[in-house]
Chain A
Amino acid sequence: MSDDKAVSRRWLMMTIGIVLNGAVALLIATPVVGYLLGPIRKKGGYDSWIDLGDTSQFPLGETRLASFINPGSMPWDGATRKAACWVRRTADQKFQVFAINCAHLGCPVRWFPQSELFMCPCHGGVYYADGSRAAGPPPRGLFTYDYKLQNGKLMIDAGQMPTLATSASVRKESSECTG
């Protein structure tokens, strides 16, 4: 047996080895990609109807802070399972439910009933009582949650931190003219 031949056979065996390992790696790794991409869901895919409590706790003409437990939270989430929102009651059966997150970069906005403004502590975004943008860097008004009334309870369609890309309610809003 010549040396050349022996070498080429060993090379062939090594190539088979590489191919085998590649195939096994691909077989194992492909599902792992699915594991890594697991959290991705389509817009609104995390949302469900959440009970904010009796409508009587939201007086007419006022804006109140409400909090709820995020659906689908993990047992080890601790306090971060909670979320807050601003509820404004404009008429007996009419509400506006705003996300706590500023539309600029997500900081928690605060309501000032005296001047009837929402102010953001981070970059100074300001919103009017109806959630529309008043001043500062936010590109749009406050994010709103869809709501419905059921047996005297206020329910909102929530579950995901609202951002410019993930807010389920954005598409339902008519595009505002920001003059």
Chain B
Amino acid sequence: MHWLKRTYDWLEFRLKLEGPIKDTVLHPVPKNTASWWYVFGSASFVLLLLQIVTGILLAIVYVPSAGEAWNSLQVLNQQLPLGWFLRAMHGWGSNFMVAVVLIHMAQVFLFGAYKFPRELTWILGVFLLLMTLGMAFTGQVMRFDQDAYWGLGIGASIVARVPLIGGPLVDLLLGGPIIAGPTLTRFFALHVFVIPGMMLAFAGLHIWMVVGLGINDWPMPGRIVRRSTYIQEYHELTHKDGIPFVPGAVWKDMIFSAAIMFAVALCAVFLGPFGPTGFPDPTIIQTVPKPDFYFWWIYTILSFLPENLETPFILIAPVIGIAFLLALPFFAGEGEKSWHRRPIAVLSITVLAVGFAVCQHLGAYTPWSPEMQAWSGDTVPVHYVQRATPLGRQGQIVFQEKQCRNCHMIGGVGGQRGPALDGVATRLTYDQLVRQVLQGGGNMPAYGKNLSPPEVTALVSFLETLHPDGQLPARDASQQFISTGELNPPPPAQ
């Protein structure tokens, strides 16, 4: 083994790395920060490395040309040994990375780690989050399938709403007048060179500061952060009750990172790569574009915003959100770190997490999108047909043929854009049904010009039968008096 030692000495004499590395691995950390709560940052970095390695391996084959990108992905998926697996690792790695980065950020926020002296670490972290999301979006473009194509269209339509410079911004985003070759190449440059380069630099600085300033101490209720005393207190904490980072804390990081990598690999093997979906031909309009998993919440928000709020919200909310995150360590840089004494912080995270989860859930099944095939694909439930009068059956034909089904469910099948119509007769009277069909309202178009009077009569005759057994249809209480003439004055005596 003597030669090994000699080689080491030869290298070390020239590299002089032993000192800094020793300082880093042996730097003391507070004992109770060697916790399973402190593993998400390192896991994010390991996932970044995974993305870089798998990304380079994919770049060996991928062709960043609008005409060929989709085909090269097919070759990766179908023909090259393990090409599908690398695509799957890269795709699932990105999903895991977004998730782990978000968890890391929530944990750092709840543990008050952004407070003095770690403000800049937090700010770099905010940029790293934005770049992670940027990689997710540009990565979706790399797939260059129908979802990517129309996703770019959505991006362009959002950018177009910027006042004054909207038009030039669209040109810049697309690299020309339309989504085509120049669009893909500029997103390729962003995805492969610009953002990853910045991410590595930012992540390097981020970690440099974590080591230099020391890991955030475990928050204790009543242990207040003050700029004047914190450094002294932290020094005492690490030197009286500290353990060396290696191996005291690092083993949990390593086990968690390994578990995450294993999870990515499991997902990749069993669930496979993402797409590509349909061929990116803009004249194929039989497509239902949908963003990737990480942007479902935005998809939800965009479909629920009232029309007049949409543009201001899209343009202003992200700016306020990012400004708030960047400003956070400056207006809350001191004080309590413990979540036991920070009810607003806990409440914010809870509200955000619940809101995010709800939006993601809705984005998973997009109830606001019409089912474009429902009118011709879904049948009228048999029991409705069996009971129907001849006029009602005509109404059922109108109901199907005029695409009502695309937005309205009956029998649990159909679109969910509008309300399900199974009990509609208990909610609306005959006259109200006629009015709704003719004039529309809310998110329903007016069918007045698109249906003939007999069609309306037939349709409403069918809708009138849509009520549960034993529950009468809604009716206008005044109608019976008018029809029986009860309220009419008695005829004058002759």
Residue numbers of A with Cβ under 8 A of B are 36-37, 39-43, 46, 65, 67, 70, 72-74, 76-84, 100-101, 104-110, 112, 114-117, 119-124, 126, 128, 134-139, 159-161, 163-166
The answer on a CB contact under 8 Å between A114 and B160 is no
Asked if B401 is at the interface of the complex by the 8 Å CB criterion, the answer is yes
Given contacts A46-B177, A74-B181, contact A108 B157 (CB under 8 A): no
Q: Which residues of A contact B162 (CB under 8 A)?
A: 165
Given contacts A70-B177, A106-B150, A139-B310, contact A80 B66 (CB under 8 A): yes
The answer on a CB contact under 8 Å between A123 and B182 is no
Given contacts A39-B176, A160-B177, contact A166 B170 (CB under 8 A): yes
14 contacts between A and B (CB under 8 A): A37-B172, A39-B174, A46-B176, A78-B66, A78-B68, A83-B282, A105-B154, A110-B372, A114-B375, A115-B404, A121-B289, A159-B178, A163-B156, A166-B170
The answer on a CB contact under 8 Å between B372 and A39 is no
Q: Which residues of B contact A108 (CB under 8 A)?
A: 150, 282, 285, 287
Q: How far is the CA of A39 from the CA of B181 in the complex (A)?
A: 13
Q: Which residues of B contact A119 (CB under 8 A)?
A: 370, 372, 403, 406
Mask of B145-172 contacts with A, CB within 8 angstroms, 1/0: 0000110011011111110001111111
Q: Which residues of B contact A78 (CB under 8 A)?
A: 65-68, 70, 181, 280
Residue numbers of B with Cβ under 8 A of A are 65-68, 70, 149-150, 153-154, 156-162, 166-172, 174-182, 279-283, 285-289, 302-303, 305, 307, 310-311, 368-370, 372, 375, 401-404, 406-407, 417, 440, 442-447, 449-450
Partner of B445, one of A67, A110, A128: A128
Q: How far is the CA of A122 from the CA of B158 in the complex (A)?
A: 14
Given contacts A76-B67, A115-B450, A119-B372, contact A83 B178 (CB under 8 A): yes
Q: Which residues of B contact A120 (CB under 8 A)?
A: 370
Q: Which residues of A contact B404 (CB under 8 A)?
A: 115
The answer on a CB contact under 8 Å between B450 and A79 is no
Partner of A107, one of B67, B154, B440: B154
Question: How distant is A65 from chain B, measured CB to nearest CB, in Å?
Answer: 7
The answer on a CB contact under 8 Å between B444 and A74 is no
The answer on a CB contact under 8 Å between B172 and A40 is yes
Q: How far is the CA of A57 from the CA of B130 in the complex (A)?
A: 50
Closest to B402 in A: A115
Q: Which residues of A contact B65 (CB under 8 A)?
A: 76, 78
Question: How distant is A161 from chain B, measured CB to nearest CB, in Å?
Answer: 5
The answer on a CB contact under 8 Å between B307 and A166 is no
Question: How distant is B398 from chain A, measured CB to nearest CB, in Å?
Answer: 9
Q: How far is the CA of A82 from the CA of B67 in the complex (A)?
A: 11
The answer on a CB contact under 8 Å between B177 and A159 is yes
The answer on a CB contact under 8 Å between B401 and A114 is yes
Partner of A70, one of B161, B178, B447: B178
Q: How far is the CA of A67 from the CA of B403 in the complex (A)?
A: 25
Partner of A81, one of B175, B180, B303: B180
Closest to A41 in B: B171
Partner of A114, one of B157, B161, B372, B403: B403
